Structure 1
Amino acid sequence: MIGLLTTTFGVSVASALLPLISVELFTIGLVLKGTAIPWWVLTVVIATGQIGGKLLHYYAARGVIRLPRLLRREDRPTGEGRRHRWLASFRASCRHRPVWTSAVLLISATTSLPPFAAIAVIAGWAQVPLATFVSAGFVGRLLRFSALTIAPGVVVAWV
């Protein structure tokens, strides 16, 4: 049971980092195969792994994690150009509208529309507070994966 939970956690972190890996398909396959692990434990493990992986995107966008040279943009002097003013305005908007910011994070984490990977990068870039990112993202991921772990059983019981 511990080995399966460790594998599930690893797949969820890997899928958070690499979009080619689908933790959703893994989850549905795991539930359909049948496991003694309660659905809510799977949900918490997957949501934790997903947020852990997305935190790497978040921190990279904030500049806390130094990316390999291939993935970095050239350092440009920060000035008072249009892009710099727009970013400052966007950051201020996120700071002054925490409910809106949390709602966007929650909706994205739950539905992946817009993709949560992109929102994680934007949240880091906009300097959304870590507590806001983690709490809204974790709740959204809990909702998403709760639905995925419960759905096969509901469909089987209904049919």
Structure 2
Amino acid sequence: MVILWLSMFGLSIASALLPFLPIEAFIIGGAAARPGTTAAVSLGIAAGAGATIGKVIWYEAARRGVQSDWAQKKLAGSKIQPFYDRWSARMEGRPVFSGALMLVSAFVGIPPLLAMAAVAGLLRVPMWVFLPTVFLGRSLRFGLLFLGADVALH
């Protein structure tokens, strides 16, 4: 079980960084290899934790990238600046709104979490809001997917 858990954790980090690697396929394989509710919960947490780490990397890349001189020059003379300012104002000082958006994205996948992680970094959503909502949403999503695959396969 430990090897499967660590494999799922590592694969979910890779999947979070590289969107062409679908973690869902690995989850179905994991459910086939290790059936049961306990395994589904444990592997859901492993996949959720790995996905969260991967999305933190996207968050940090966007947060640091927007502060670069190049990005500031591009924002200053573009049509994006009003959009950026409007969303910054909406998110700033509203952790419940930011958290709800991140939780829906992490659980449902709409809007895509990769895009939302980058947007959260750009808009400087506090890490104390970003981390738990992404972890909770992804763990629930993957845990339920494990359970569904387990029921379908066994």
- Using structure 2 for the length normalisation, give the TM-score: 0.84
| Aligned residue in 2 for 1:41 | 42
Does residue 60 (structure 1) correspond to residue 57 (structure 2)? The answer is: no
Rg (Cα) greater in structure: 1
* The 10-residue stretch of structure 1 (100-109 or 8-17) with the greater mean CA deviation from structure 2: 100-109
Query: How many pairs does the alignment contain?
Result: 152
C-alpha deviation, 1:11, in angstroms? 0.5
Alpha carbons of 1:27 and 1:73: their partners in 2 closer, same or farther (altered >3 Å)?
Answer: farther
1:142 to 130, 139, 142: 139
Letter in 1 for 2:43: L
C-alpha deviation, 1:123, in angstroms? 0.5
Letter in 2 for 1:91: S
Cα distance in 2 for residues equivalent to 1:156 and 1:7? 21
Which structure shows the higher helix fraction? 2
2:150 to 149, 153, 159: 153
Q: Runs in 1 of length 4+ with deviation above 4 angstroms?
A: 78-82
Letter in 2 for 1:101: S
C-alpha deviation, 1:114, in angstroms? 1.0
Cα distance in 2 for residues equivalent to 1:136 and 1:59? 16
Does residue 114 (structure 1) correspond to residue 111 (structure 2)? The answer is: yes
- Higher RCO by CA contacts (8 Å cutoff, separation 6 or greater): 2
Cα distance in 2 for residues equivalent to 1:151 and 1:82? 44
What's the secondary structure of 1:128's corresponding residue?
A: coil
| Aligned residue in 2 for 1:31 | 31
Alpha carbons of 1:122 and 1:53: their partners in 2 closer, same or farther (altered >3 Å)?
Answer: same
Q: Percent of aligned positions with the same letter in both sequences?
A: 32
* The 10-residue stretch of structure 1 (75-84 or 138-147) with the greater mean CA deviation from structure 2: 75-84
Alpha carbons of 1:101 and 1:149: their partners in 2 closer, same or farther (altered >3 Å)?
Answer: same
2:84 to 79, 87, 109: 87
- Using structure 1 for the length normalisation, give the TM-score: 0.82
Gaps of 5+ in 1: 67-71
Alpha carbons of 1:156 and 1:83: their partners in 2 closer, same or farther (altered >3 Å)?
Answer: closer
Give CA-to-partner distance per residue, 1:56-112, whole Å, 9 cap, x none.
000000007x9xxxxx99444364876434423311211243222211111110011
Cα RMSD for the two superposed structures: 2.7
| Aligned residue in 2 for 1:50 | 51
